Amino acid sequence: MTAPAGRAPGGGAGPGGGVGAVAPSRPAPARGPLATAPTAVLAAVTLVAAFAVAQGTGARALGGVVLVLGVAWCAWRSWAAAGAARVVAVVLLGAACFVASHVLAGALGAWPSVALAAVVLGAGAWLLVDRRR
């Protein structure tokens, strides 16, 4: 007697699946608006946009609101795919880049320091979150 397709002789699951077979796990895809855009790009753009809003309106608090909303969005969309540890690492890197942009502004200028911080944040986010997709 031959075993049904997908089962090894004796009733166990063979390499083709069958009863008890477990599908390989994959990270969940990013979610939300712009789900196909890399989180690295969105994180970098968030830093630049927050500074632009603060600079353009003269209201630093408004730039802070843009920054907090952008961080929350990037974290939410990446949490399932990358996991808590990687997302927290990117958030901490973003905070360090934010501080570094302020420290470097005196030597480089405001916009160049924000651009440099955004590039570093984008590279870190890609390594920690997007590379796994």
Q: What pLDDT, in 10s, does the model give residues 44-84?
A: 999 999 999 999 999 999 999 999 999 999 999 999 889 99
pTM: 0.75
* 3-class secondary structure, 76: helix
Tell which wins on pLDDT, 61 or 131.
61
Query: Rounded to 5 degrees, what are φ and ψ at 39?
Result: -60, -35
Closest C-alpha among 76, 85, 97, 83 to residue 34: 76
Rounded to an integer, what distance in angstroms lies between the CA atom of residue 100 and that of residue 111? 13
Percent of the residues in the chain that have a pLDDT greater than 70, as a whole number: 74
pLDDT attached to residue 34? 72
Check whether 18 has a pLDDT greater than 80: no
Check whether 32 has a pLDDT greater than 70: no
Percent of the residues in the chain that have a pLDDT greater than 90, as a whole number: 68
Q: For residues 91-95, give the mean pLDDT.
A: 97
Query: Rounded to 5 degrees, what are φ and ψ at 102?
Result: -70, -40
Rounded to an integer, what distance in angstroms lies between the CA atom of residue 131 and that of residue 19? 33
Query: How does residue 1 score in pLDDT terms, banded at 50, 70 and 90?
Result: low
Sequence-distant (≥ 6) Cβ neighbours of residue 6 within 8 angstroms: 13, 14, 16, 17, 18, 21
Q: And the tokens for 8?
A: 């090894």
Tell which wins on pLDDT, 120 or 5.
120
Query: How does residue 35 score in pLDDT terms, banded at 50, 70 and 90?
Result: confident
Reported as half-sphere exposure (CB side, CA atoms, 13 A), residue 37 has a value of 14
